[in-house]
């Protein structure tokens, strides 16, 4: 008998399959880059394992499309990315953790300095080394997360004793309400960012995320940092999503059964059959990133899947390892044991599922589990 340590990678052993279209990632970057008519550089946010689709593979696809600058969240992501993209410019959005500066320098990683404490530490190193070491400075324009206040930024940038030889390679801020272009917060942040950075025209500036790119050239400045749009997500709530879908999740049918009218389905008996139903049980659940909040009940509808062009609503509570679907109106030949059902993909947009789960498509993409067979197309 094989050892319990023997890895089994046959598709037959997985409850589902996650297919990542790397060509779609590259195509989405090319579309966004084409919207930059003012000479801005199109970078890429590749944090959280490239929004769940695989940092190494997505990074190579983006690099092949022409992307040269990447943003990650934490140092470990940066060090991993450096191994696959040795020539890329890599920024760490969460900044300079204590005791990490020498590793940033050794691996040519650029922290995004988001506080006076971080700025003082980095400029102190620059003064000791008697040279400029590349890093970005984050100025907070109203989101009140990371970033120097406008007053702190202006004072620091005018303090030659503090800065020494350090000149930021980038000054950046982040939009709080980009997904809603008409929100007045966008204009307030834009005006404040222009005001505080105007005295330093020699330093490149960055404000726009995916939504900011779509909001027009005045938000583009010198560099844009798309994230969700690269991975097929919806950047602006009120507009159709023009990005190509990237991730496709399919779950395996384990069995199909009859549910008598009046019986309940799933944990908590939250949903009753209003007619005689056919119920398909598929091998994926919230442990795989298919969020429990998209469950169905007698009070509210839940998410849905697609089977050969037929919509199959979720029935009852999504559990850890399985989901039940209403397949009453799906032809029997499509419901064979072992057949794969589309849970997310071209026919089931992450933004649509997110609406049922009262969340955003970011959470769906970054929650995709590791129990799926993971397939990259084209293979690299």
Give the pLDDT band of residue 316 (cuts 50, 70, 90): very high
Give the pLDDT band of residue 8 (cuts 50, 70, 90): low
Q: Does 380 have pLDDT greater than 80?
A: no
Q: Does 173 have pLDDT greater than 80?
A: yes
Mapping DSSP onto H, E and C, the string for the chain reads CCCCCCCCCCHHHCCEEEEEEHHHHHHHHHHHHCCCCCCCEECEECHHHHHCCCHHHHHHHHHHHCCCEEEECCHHHHHHHHHHCCCCEEEECCCCCCCCHHHHHHCCCEEEECCHHHHHHHHHHHHHHCCCCCCEEEECCCCCCCCECHHHHHHHHCCHHHHCCCCCCEEECCCCCCCCCCCHHHHHHHHHHHHHHCCCCCCCEECCCHHHHHCCHHHCCCEECCCHHHHCCCCCCCCCCCCCCCEEEEEEEEEEEEECCCCEECHHHCEECCCCEEEEEECCCHHHCCCHHHCCCCCCCCCEEEECCEEEEECCCCCCCCEEEECCCCCHHHCCCCCEEEEEECCECHHHHHHHCCCCHHHHHHHCCCCCEEEEECCC
Residue 283: its pLDDT value, please?
96
Q: What is the mean pLDDT of residues 171-199?
A: 96
The string of pLDDT tens digits covering residues 335-372 is: 999 999 999 999 999 888 899 999 988 898 889 877 89
Residue 7: its pLDDT value, please?
60
Q: What is the mean pLDDT of residues 245-255?
A: 95
The candidate with the shortest Cα–Cα distance to 320, out of 350, 288, 353, 343, is 288
Residue 379: its pLDDT value, please?
57
Query: What is the percentage of the chain residues whose pLDDT exceeds 70?
Result: 97
Indicate the burial class of 203 (C-beta count within 10 angstroms; 0-12, 13-18, 19 or more).
middle
Token digits of residue 81: 């990315």
Q: What is the mean pLDDT of residues 266-288?
A: 95
Q: Does 257 have pLDDT greater than 70?
A: yes
The string of pLDDT tens digits covering residues 189-205 is: 999 999 999 999 999 99
Token digits of residue 46: 């590749």
User: If you search the block for the tokens 């390892």, which residue do you land on?
Assistant: 321
The string of pLDDT tens digits covering residues 131-144 is: 999 999 999 999 99
Q: What is the mean pLDDT of residues 174-188?
A: 95
pTM of the model: 0.92
Q: Does 325 have pLDDT greater than 50?
A: yes
Are 34-231 and 247-377 in the same CATH fold?
no
Taking domain 247-377, whether its CATH number is 2.40.37.10 is answered by yes
Q: What is the mean pLDDT of residues 250-263?
A: 96
Q: What is the mean pLDDT of residues 149-177?
A: 97
Q: Does 237 have pLDDT greater than 60?
A: yes
Q: What is the mean pLDDT of residues 146-170?
A: 97
Q: Does 272 have pLDDT greater than 70?
A: yes
Q: Does 172 have pLDDT greater than 70?
A: yes
Domain boundaries, the chain: 34-231, 247-377
| Assigned CATH topology for domain 34-231 | TIM Barrel (3.20.20)
Residue 3: its pLDDT value, please?
41
Please count the CA atoms within 13 angstroms of the CA of 117 that sit on its side-chain side.
Answer: 6
Question: How much is the mean pLDDT over the chain?
Answer: 94
Active site residues: 47, 267
């Amino acid at each position: 008998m094989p050892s319990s340590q023997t890895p089994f990678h046959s598709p037959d052993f997985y409850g589902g399959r996650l297919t990542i279209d790397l060509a779609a990632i590259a195509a989405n970057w090319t579309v966004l880059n084409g919207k930059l008519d003012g000479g801005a550089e199109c970078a890429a946010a590749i944090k959280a394992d490239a929004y769940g689709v695989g940092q190494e593979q997505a990074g190579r696809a983006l690099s092949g499309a022409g992307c040269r600058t990447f943003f990650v969240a934490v140092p470990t992501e940066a060090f991993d990315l450096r191994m696959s993209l040795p020539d890329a410019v890599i920024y760490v959005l969460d900044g300079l953790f204590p005791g990490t500066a020498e590793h940033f320098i050794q691996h040519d990683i650029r922290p995004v300095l988001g506080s006076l404490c971080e700025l003082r530490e980095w400029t102190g190193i620059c003064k000791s080394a008697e040279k400029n070491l590349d890093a970005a400075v984050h100025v907070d324009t109203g989101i009140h997360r990371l970033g120097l206040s406008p007053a702190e930024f202006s004072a620091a940038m005018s303090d030659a004793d503090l800065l020494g030889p350090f000149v930021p390679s980038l000054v950046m801020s982040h939009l709080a309400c980009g997904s809603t272009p008409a929100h007045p917060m966008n204009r307030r942040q834009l005006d404040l960012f222009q005001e505080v950075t105007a005295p330093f025209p020699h330093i490149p500036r960055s404000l726009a995320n995916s939504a900011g790119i779509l909001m027009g050239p005045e938000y583009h400045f010198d560099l844009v940092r798309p994230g969700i749009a690269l991975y097929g997500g919806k950047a602006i709530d009120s507009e159709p999503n023009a990005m190509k879908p990237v991730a496709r999740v399919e779950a395996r049918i384990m069995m199909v059964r009859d549910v008598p009218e009046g019986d309940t389905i799933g944990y908590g008996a939250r949903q009753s059959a209003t007619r005689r139903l056919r119920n398909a049980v598929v091998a994926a659940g919230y442990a795989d990133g298919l969020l429990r909040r998209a469950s169905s009940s007698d009070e509210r509808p839940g998410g849905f899947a697609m089977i050969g062009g037929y919509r199959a609503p979720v029935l009852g509570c999504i559990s850890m390892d399985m989901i039940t679907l209403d397949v009453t109106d799906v032809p029997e030949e499509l419901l064979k044991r072992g057949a794969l059902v589309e849970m997310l993909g071209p026919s089931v947009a992450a933004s649509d599922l997110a609406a049922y789960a009262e969340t955003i498509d970011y959470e769906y993409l970054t929650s995709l589990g590791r129990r799926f067979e993971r397939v990259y197309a084209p293979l690299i």
